[in-house]
Chain A
Amino acid sequence: MSFFNPENLEKAQVLIGLYPDKRSALIPLCHLAQGQHGHLSNEAMEQIADLLEIQPAEVLGTASFYDMLHTEEVGKYLVGVCTNVACMLGGGIELLEHASDVLGVPLGGTTEDGMFTLEEVECVAHCDKAPCAQVNYRFFGPLANGDFDQLLDDLRNDRLSESVPPHGVLSRVFRDAPAMVPLEIIHRERRAMDDEKKARQAALNKDAGGNQ
């Protein structure tokens, strides 16, 4: 059973073909999986591992490092309020408290209707609009409490559905050109990589030998 639907499976193959080493497609494939399913499920990670010829644990081991990759379900809208220093000076910490109050959830919590998950985020490079928030990585600011309430209302009533897709959908523009560099170069790249790996392994073996 394939986790990826046929359209995304094709996209996955294109992404994998862009790199001298398949594993480089790991993060793009995780985003692709989240776009399809809203979060990164075990089934998704197993298929990504299959496609990249690595172990599912390696996919999880990498994904768990990154804040944007969610192995647990999150709401349709992931609301992140920034409290880093520029936003803090503009009232970001108080905005986050207000957000928690009106949504009725603690940090990391999801509303009962599954619409909103609340996060405290680090600087999202929108500091001239402090205090700001992101909803599924679309930015809004500066936000007074009333503006924030209005934003929630707009989201609840589908007034922003064009600019804010459901959680997991990141870029809606897909690459439309396959890799074009002549095969000869790609083969040379792969050989160089293999040599490098072998040299590193040889150095490691030598170290291990020396310690015995």
Chain B
Amino acid sequence: MSTKIVTARVGIPDSFLLSTYLENGGYAAFKKALSMNPEDVHAEVTASGMLGRGGAGFEAGRKWSMLKQDPIRYLVVNGDESEPSTFKDHLLVENDPHQLIEGTLITAYAIGATRAFIYLRGEFALGLERVQTAINEAYAYGAIGENIFGSGFSIDLVLQPGAGAYICGEETALIESLEGKRGFPRIKPPYFPAVIGLYGAPTIVNNVETMSNIPWIISNGGKAFAALGKGRSTGTRLFALSGDVMKPGNYELEMTSKTFRELIYDPALGGGLKEGRSVKAVIPGGVSAPWIGPDNLDLPLGQDEVAQAGSMLGSGSIIVLDDHSCAVRAVWRITKFFNRESCGQCTPCREGSGWIEKIMHRIELGSGTESDLDLLLDVCDNIAPGLTWPPQQTTICVLGPSIPSSVVSGIKMFRDEFMIHIKEEGCPFVH
């Protein structure tokens, strides 16, 4: 039986209500934290070694250490989950909003935030209702507000809905959006949130899953968390498995304890593929990540392991393509997404994504030419010079340099398939 941290209460009836949460040990960690010094709470999180669960994989404890110690500082929780095929935070906000709130309050206490915000993706209507209900319950319970549980610590927690924009998951764009503006990422430097964030004040932005791990870390200790997993990959992670598998879903696994193959084929996990089919490619870590092939299926699900194979664990989402799915069509659809979601500030991203989508579309529809492949790589090279991984950046944020990942992977791994589309003037797959 593997350890469940963030999904421990998922499946319990009414898991989203305060009464259920309290029956299952809820808010004990926050009370414990309030009896400690903020520095000691921070030290536990540092000792846990937890890497942020949003996608960049930066250590949470270290991130907190970078917060400029101004009298006014903010905590913002990033719940703008929009990376295609990532659906883990969606599960957490709907099923265990109090766990998220408790983690947020503990963090606010540890970093000395004067106010905290949970920015939740606008499309999560049920999630917004569940989290707002939970916030209301937590105020009434005395866990939020003035002089919490008699500790002298006061904090307000505000739920902020987004309004439909992938780019607002980028932390500086999220801050702009929270300030009531268009979601335009800010240039770094100088706008590192830990120094100049919300309203110009030092701000920590942490992901929903990161926050949801905090109560367990405080209850059980950072060491217990660090004992799970291997190397830099400590604790558990919520893997969102989708695509051509029999049992897509969210699976919380101890990090590095399973390989891609086990996640996909284990009858208790992904349940394998349709009969007679085989894995053609896997997109780990969201569509911003380079693809991996069937030869890499025995890689353990760990941060460094996937990085060494030239990709990233990113947001923890894993998309499987089987041998009946078209790689060209997948690349085209991914580039269409980036084109649609580019905020438009930087030319390489705004123009590049549009041209790449057009070229990919004509290849998929059968009117591409062989020279289009070089053209695609050339445009990609203008967005992320050298086509390396991690990519070089010509833009304000990392949306732009994420565009080449699928294009370069597709051409590198499935050049033959591109050529069939071009020579036979159409897609050979049945849709």
Residues of A with Cβ closer than 8 Å to B? Answer: 18-21, 23-28, 30-31, 52, 61-63, 65-69, 83-86, 88-89, 91, 93-94, 122-128, 130, 134, 136-139, 170-177, 179-182, 185, 188-189, 192-193, 195-197, 199-200
Contacts and interface: CB of A to CB of B under 8 A. Distances in A.
B164 A69 contact: yes
A180 B154 contact: yes
Contacts of A126: 87, 90
Interface string B132-151: 11011001100011100000
Contacts of A200: 200
Contact of A21 (B71, B132, B199): B199
A123 B179 CA distance: 25
B85 A84 contact: yes
A175 B82 contact: no
A127 B240 contact: yes
B155 A181 contact: yes
A196 B431 CA distance: 55
Contacts of B392: none
Contacts of A85: 84-85, 243, 283, 287, 319, 330, 333-334, 337
Contacts of B85: 84-86, 123, 127
Nearest to A28: B161
Contacts of B125: 136-138, 170-171
Contact of B201 (A94, A176, A177, A193): A193
B248 A127 contact: yes
20 contacts: A20-B115, A68-B164, A85-B319, A85-B330, A122-B82, A125-B89, A127-B86, A128-B241, A128-B242, A137-B125, A139-B126, A170-B161, A172-B129, A173-B129, A175-B158, A177-B139, A177-B145, A180-B145, A188-B71, A196-B196
A57 to B, nearest CB: 13
Interface of B: 70-72, 81-87, 89-90, 114-115, 121-126, 128-129, 132-133, 135-136, 139-140, 144-146, 154-156, 158-166, 177-183, 196, 199-201, 240-244, 248-250, 283, 287, 317, 319, 321, 325, 329-330, 333-334, 337, 340-341, 343, 431
A43 to B, nearest CB: 19
Contacts of B177: 27
Nearest to A137: B125
Contact of A65 (B136, B160, B183, B201): B183
B123 A68 contact: yes
A63 to B, nearest CB: 8
8 closest A-B pairs (Cβ-Cβ)? Answer: A196-B200, A67-B164, A26-B180, A66-B163, A68-B164, A23-B180, A127-B242, A171-B128
Given A134-B123, A171-B161, A192 B132 contact: no
Contact of A84 (B115, B158, B181, B337): B337
A72 B87 CA distance: 30
Contacts of B330: 85, 88-89
B179 to A, nearest CB: 6
Given A123-B82, A138-B125, A182-B154, A173 B136 contact: yes
Contacts of A21: 179-180, 199
B388 to A, nearest CB: 24
Contacts of A27: 122, 160-163, 177, 180
A130 B140 CA distance: 39
A91 B326 CA distance: 12
Given A128-B242, A136-B125, A177-B136, A18 B200 contact: no
B35 to A, nearest CB: 22
A181 B163 contact: no
A23 B145 CA distance: 23
A127 B87 contact: yes
Contacts of A196: 196, 199-201
A6 to B, nearest CB: 22
Given A122-B337, A174-B132, A196-B201, A86 B243 contact: yes
A199 to B, nearest CB: 8
Contacts of A24: 160, 178-180
Contacts of B90: 125-126
Contact of B248 (A93, A128, A176): A128
B146 A181 contact: yes
Given A170-B161, A181-B156, A200-B200, A86 B133 contact: no
Contacts of A188: 71-72, 114
A47 B248 CA distance: 46
A23 B179 contact: yes
Contacts of A174: 132
Contacts of B196: 196
B129 A171 contact: yes
A18 to B, nearest CB: 5
Contacts of B121: 125
Contacts of A192: 70-72, 199-201
Given A138-B126, A188-B72, A125 B164 contact: no
B161 to A, nearest CB: 6
Nearest to A93: B431
Contacts of B244: 89
Given A21-B199, A27-B161, A61-B182, A128 B249 contact: yes
A127 to B, nearest CB: 4
B108 to A, nearest CB: 11
A30 B83 CA distance: 24
A166 B179 CA distance: 28
B200 A197 contact: yes
